[in-house]
Structure 1
C-alpha cells in the first residue's frame, strides 16, 4: 500500500449510540471539527456489544450502535466536507470491563465459552461493516481496537483479516493498544501498523525508538489511530488513565499534543494521527475532547505545516 499523504485525523463521536450521529447538531459538530483542526480524515467507531469479556456473542443491532443508515449518512456527510473516512468497528463489554480483557481458555473446555465461537461472532461483526465500508467508499478499515488478550491467536486474526478483505478492497489495519506494537506477530497481514498513542509527555522519544524497530521489521508505516490526553492536571504523565481526577488544565492538554507532534515530526515512518476525540455534541464532551480547547489550535497548526511539515 502506497500512502500518498499523511493521515491527519480525528476520532469523531466514539462509540455513538443510536441517534447520536443523526441530525443537524452532529453535522454542525463534524463541520466545526474539520474547520478547527484542519483534519483530512475522520475516524468513525460503531460499537458492537458483548455482555462480559467472557461472552461469545457480539450484538451490533441494539440502541448501543447507530443504525447502518445513520452511519452511512455520517460517512457521506464527512465526504461532502472533503474528509476521507476510516471505519473502526469496535467491540465493548456491556458490564464496563475494558475490551482488552476479552479472553477465553486456549484449550476448549466443556460448558465454557470458546475462542472459536467468539471469533465467529467477531468475524460476522467486522465483515458486516467491511461490506458497508466498501459500499460507501471508506478510505481505511480498522479491524478493531485494543484487543490485547486476543492478539496471540494469530491464526484466527489472519483468517479474520482475509475475510474482511473479501468484502472491503481498500487498505486494512488493526489498532493495537499502547505498548503493544511489538507484541503483534501478524502485522505483515495488514497495510499499516495502527496503535493507541497514549504515551507520557516525557517518554515519547523512548517509545518512538521502540516502535521504529517494529516499523522497520515489517516495512510498514505507523498510524497512531488514537492519540490523546485529558485536560486534567497530571494527565500528560499518564494519558491512558481515563479515571484520573484533578483540576481542569487545558494548557497541559495542549502541551502534550505539541510534544507528541514535535517528537513524531522527526520520524518519517509515522503516517499520522487520530486525535481522541471530538464529540457529536460539545455540551457533553469528555475530558479527552479537544473541541473548544487550546489543543484544537495546536492540532490545526500541526496539521497545516507549523510542526509536522
Structure 2
C-alpha cells in the first residue's frame, strides 16, 4: 500500500474513533430528567392577587414559576445591601407575605414555586458587583450571607423545593472559597435543593457546581448576527451552545436549569437577547422572530436529557400591553410554548 493511501486510512480511522468517542461521551453523561420544569419567571404584583391570575398558566402547561424577592445595592463597589428586613417599600408580590400567598395559590392549581432572590444594583446590574479591598469583600459576603439566609429560612418554612443562591454575580463567583462558605450557611437552615443562576458568560468558570444540585444558566446566548434570522440558523446556534454546555455537565455530573431565558418581540431579538426593551424602541417589532427563537430552543436544548427545566422571562399576573417586551403573553411565542409544554 502506498504511503499517501496509508496516511489517508489512518486519518479516516482517527476521525472515526474521535466521532465515536464524542458520541459515546454524549450518550454516557448519565443524567436523565424525567419531569422537566416547564417554567416562567413570575412578576411579583404590586397588589394582592385575587386568585385567578395563575389560571392561564395552567392552561398553557406551566408546572413551575420562579418568584423573585429583591435586595438593593446602591453601588456595585460598596458592600452595603438592604432587603425587606430594612424596608417595606416593595411590591406585595415580592414580600414574604405575598410570596407565601402566591406559593399557596400556585400549589392549589398544580404549579410549584422556586425562589430566586436577586440583587438590584442602582444604575448597573449584578455582574458588575466587585469590591476594591479585601476588607470590603469580607463585608460584602457577610451582608450577602445575611440577605440570602433571610430567604433561605422562608424557603424552608414554606417547603419551597429549590432555592437559587445568587443571580449573575459574575465578578464574585471566582471567589470559590467565599461562596462555599455561603453555601454551607444556607445548608444549615435550608434542606431543599440549590442552584446558582450564572450568566451565560460565567457558567463555565464556576468551580463550586459540585456543592449544588443544579447548574443554573441565564441562557441569553446570542444566536445570530442578523435581524430576522431563519429558523435553521437559530437551531444551528443552539446545537453549538448545547455541546458547550455538555462539557460542564460531564465535568460536574449535574443537571442544568435555564433559570432565565427570554427574547423580545423585535427583529433583533436573537442578536443580543439580554438587551432591555427600552434600548430597542427604534427596532421594528416582530412576534415572528420572538416565536422562532422559542421554537429553536424547543427543537434543540429542550430535548437534552441533562436539561432539568426552563424558566421564560417573563410572565405578568395581568397582561401588560407594552412594546417591545420580553413576555410571550398574547404573542405567537406563547403558542409555541404551549405546544411544547402541553406535549
Normalised by the size of structure 1, how large is the TM-score?
0.89
Q: Does structure 2 retain, via aligned residues, the 8 Å contact 1:33–1:278?
A: no
Does 2:46 align with 1:31?
no
Match of 2:316 among 266, 274, 279: 279
Which string of whole-angstrom CA distances, capped at 9 and with x for unpartnered residues, describes residues 236-287 of structure 1?
2221222333122111111100001111144211112011110133226560
Q: What are the residue-to-residue correspondences of 1:80-159 with 2, within 5 Å?
A: 80-93=108-121, 95-105=122-132, 107-108=134-135, 114-159=136-181
CA distance in 1: counterparts of 2:320 and 2:272, whole angstroms: 25
- Change beyond 3 A, Cα 1:175–1:72: same
TM-score (norm 2): 0.81
Structure 1 position 212 matched with structure 2 position 246: yes
Compute the displacement of 1:200 (Å).
2.8
| Residue of structure 1 equivalent to 2:226 | none
Which residue is equivalent to 1:200?
222
Paired residue secondary structure (1:148) = coil
Name the CA distance, whole Å, in 1 between partners of 2:119 and 2:341: 30
- Which structure 1 residue ranges, 5 or more long, are not aligned? 109-113
Question: What secondary structure sits across from 2:320 in the alignment?
Answer: helix
1:143 is paired with a residue whose SS is: strand
Alignment of 1:212-231 (within 5 A): 212-231=246-265
Aligned partners of 1:76 and 1:136 also within 8 Å: no
Aligned positions of 1:6-85 closer than 5 A? 6-13=36-43, 16=44, 20=46, 22-24=48-50, 27-35=51-59, 37-61=60-84, 62=87, 63-64=89-90, 66-85=94-113
The offset of 1:2, in angstroms, is: 9.1
Structure 1 90/265 Cα, relative in aligned 2: closer, same or farther at 3 Å? closer
> 2:79 touches 2:131 (CA, 8 Å); kept in 1?
no
Between the aligned partners of 1:167 and 1:284, the Cα distance in structure 2 is: 41
Q: Give the deviation of 1:96 after TM superposition.
A: 2.3
Whole-angstrom CA distance in 2 between matches of 1:264 and 1:2: 13
2:230 matched residue in structure 1: none
Partner of 2:280: 244
**What is the aligned length?**
292
The unaligned stretches of length 5 or more in structure 2 are 1-30, 224-233
The answer on whether the counterparts of 2:33 and 2:307 sit within 8 Å (CA) in structure 1 is no
Q: Which aligned runs of 4 or more in structure 1 are off by greater than 4 angstroms?
A: 1-4
Give, in angstroms, the shift of residue 153 of structure 1: 0.9
Contact 2:264 2:327 in 1 (8 A): yes
1:155-193 deviation digits (Å, cap 9, x = unpaired): 111111111111111111100001322110110010010
For residues 139 and 168 of structure 1, the distance between their equivalents in structure 2, rounded to whole angstroms, comes to: 10
* 1:145 CA displacement: 0.8
SS of corresponding position for 1:162: helix
User: Secondary structure of 1:182's partner?
Assistant: helix
Rounded Cα–Cα distance in structure 1 between residues aligned with 2:295 and 2:46: 30
Partner of 2:9 in structure 1? none
Greater Rg over alpha carbons, structure: 2
Superposed CA offset, 1:89-112 (max 9, x none): 11111x22111100012544xxxx
